[in-house]
Amino acid sequence: MKIEVLFFRGCPNHPPAVDRVKTVLRQEGLSGELSEIEISDAAMAKALKFPGSPTIRVNGLDIEAGFQDGGEWGLACRRYADGAPPEGMIRAALKQAQERERGKTVERG
């Protein structure tokens, strides 16, 4: 499982987001490749379709259920109730990714 945390320097919610991902992985007994990707400018934000900091993607998919690709990319903040994505949202995305991976394994048989 590939997990990316995209952020811009100085985002106060980046460290708590990473901590929450690690906590959920540990609690659920899951493993994954965790990468932190610093978005340094508007061109990079556009190239990586970065909607704001922090953004968490699991296997390339945003963890926010129903997130729509709005096409507005840049060095902005994403808004969550306490700043960072909630553990429940992270947990759900990781479990869905795990289920998709299991499905692929079964299909390959």
46-87 pLDDT tens trace: 999 999 999 999 999 999 977 766 668 889 999 899 999 999
Domains of the chain, by residue range, sit at 2-108
Domain over 2-108 is classified CATH 3.30.420: no
3-state SS, 51-103, equals: CCECEEEECCEECCCCCCCCCCCCCCECCCCCCCCCHHHHHHHHHHHHHHHHH
| Rounded mean pLDDT, 82-101 | 94
Residue 36 pLDDT class (50, 70, 90 cuts): very high
Q: For residue 69, what pLDDT is reported? A: 67
